Amino acid sequence: MPSFLKKSASKESNGEFWKILVVDDEPDVHAITSVVARDIEFEGKKVKLYSAFSSEEAKKILQNVPDIALAIIDVVMEKDMSGLELVRYIREELKNPYIRLVIRTGQPGFAPPREIVLKYDINDYREKAELSSNGLFTMIIARLREYRDIVELETQKRLLERSAFYSSVVLNSNVQDFEDTLTEALDSFSKILGLTVKIEKLGEIKTDKFNGTFPIVNLSWDHDKSVEFSLRKERDISEKMKVEFSKPLTLHQLNIISMFLERYLVTVNNYVLSKDLIETLYKVIYIISEVTETRSLETGEHVRRVGKLAKLLASKFGYEGEYLEFFEIAAMLHDVGKIGIPDAILNKPAKLSDEEFEIMKRHTVIGYEILSTVEHPLFKLAANIALYHHENWDGTGYPKGLKGEEIPLEGRIVSIVDVYDALLSDRVYRPAWSEEDTLRYIKENCGKKFDPRVCEIFFENYEEARNLYDFKNSKTE
């Protein structure tokens, strides 16, 4: 290679160059291009030339040098159409749609046909005689601008795709994973952008549980390369964080990352608050249910186990996410209507008379009337469970005598769970049954009292269900 084409190693710091490949078998063409290119600076980066004197040399450079922005290619070299063959190689074999291609020839008769220009996305055609110094400068700048825009659009596309991915997975994470997921997302963005990222924790921020509030989103950017924000960890605790990129972002890149961070922080914020509310609601409902059960001299653990077993079976029917959390809480309220049943009936140590049993059956309706007054999906679900958990598959249950799939699925699920746990528990009118007798009773009533499909799911997952019980030491908790 001629000495005037060689660059000093000191200019290659950080790889901040626009890489241009000149493919031509005439040394003078390389010399002229080098003279023009050495003074070009576009968006803070100079030009680095790579020279090839044949298409074969060019292929080796293309295989080993990434991110070449522009290739200026002579048509006629070792063969009449070597240049066009190289163009085909770039687009079809290397599958590189980004590099800008300029065809140059000193023989107008070898100009590329129009269909080739279209097929291989040739970006310019010039005769060597018409490329003055100014013309070459203008052409290079125009092609570099095209390359920059194409790469930027592709970068934005990849950032948006990763942003959408990490925004979707956040809802499936646990609270303790939010920082890890955010770090993973930012690392992914930095790789797409070809830079490094540093993430710092600046300390926790606490607020008064009743009067203080956190801003849902408050991104504070500094010089387009670092941003500070707060990531909520608990209802009244957030982590102040700083993210710094190794170089400034473009406006579009900054907007995409800001959009992701805003969406992510809002999602985490809502998740933490929602989880806190659900946990609080769970505790409140457990207390209410425990009080109800205590009136009938039963342990509050019955409602806790019914909730967990109902959630387990519901998950096997394909329910997931927030609905499962609601299902567990709603199932715990299945007997809340017992609050309206007199103690003399509720705690009678003998079999109820027909009249007393009619009064007892009213706990389903009472529970429904209490729970259905609240306009919320959880309480609508709980109201249905309270009303229908004593309906039987064969139509012999109460309060409505529904049959088969007329009974809402949530009622059919809680029905078998309630009976299973009740039989294993001591009651004022009888001692607890053994596990063997309990399972025998359920099997005998599949298709009668219980939905056959719910029975099937129950027994398929029985080992998981029985983990809630210590059958070695006692029949119930």
> Are 419 and 335 a contacting pair, CB within 8 Å?
no
Cα–Cα distance, 457 to 416 (Å, whole number): 11
Is residue 313 in some structural domain? yes
Domain encompassing residue 224 = 173-272
Same domain, 177 and 54: no
Going from the C-alpha of 98 to that of each of 52, 67, 95, the distances in angstroms are 20, 9, 9
Is residue 44 in some structural domain? yes
Is residue 278 in some structural domain? no
Same domain, 317 and 247: no
Mean pLDDT, rounded, for 90-96 = 92
**Torsion angle, alpha carbons of 183, 184, 186, 187, to 10:** 110
**Closest among 76, 151, 148, 149 to 106, alpha carbons compared:** 76
pLDDT band at 111 (very low <50, low <70, confident <90, very high): low
Cα–chain-centroid distance for residue 170? 5
Is residue 6 in some structural domain? no
Is residue 80 in some structural domain? yes
pLDDT reported for residue 297: 47
Cα–Cα distance, 329 to 289 (Å, whole number): 10
pTM over 0.85: no
Same domain, 362 and 454: yes
Question: What CATH number did the domain enclosing 406 receive?
Answer: 1.10.3210.10
Same domain, 352 and 420: yes
pLDDT band at 6 (very low <50, low <70, confident <90, very high): very low
DSSP state of 2: -
Same domain, 86 and 203: no
pLDDT reported for residue 104: 83
Same domain, 239 and 186: yes
Which residues carry out catalysis?
338
Is residue 277 in some structural domain? no
Question: What CATH number did the domain enclosing 66 receive?
Answer: 3.40.50.2300
Cα–Cα distance, 342 to 361 (Å, whole number): 12
256, 272, 288: which is the final residue of a domain?
272
Same domain, 255 and 322: no
Is residue 96 in some structural domain? yes
CB atoms within 10 A of CB 198: 12
Cα–Cα distance, 291 to 34 (Å, whole number): 88
Same domain, 186 and 308: no
Name the domain count of the chain: 3
Question: pLDDT, tens digit, for every residue of 16-51?
Answer: 889 999 999 889 889 888 998 888 999 888 999 999
272, 305, 340: which is the final residue of a domain?
272
Same domain, 223 and 350: no
Same domain, 305 and 370: yes
Is residue 190 in some structural domain? yes
Same domain, 310 and 227: no
Going from the C-alpha of 424 to that of each of 44, 98, 299, 385, the distances in angstroms are 78, 70, 12, 21
Same domain, 260 and 365: no
3-state class of 231 per DSSP?
A: strand
Task: Identify the H or E element spanning 35.
Answer: helix 27-37
Close Cβ partners of 10 (under 8 Å, ≥ 6 residues apart): none
Highest mean pLDDT among 222-226, 230-234, 281-285, 292-296: 222-226
Close Cβ partners of 239 (under 8 Å, ≥ 6 residues apart): 179, 201, 202, 203, 204, 205, 230, 231, 233
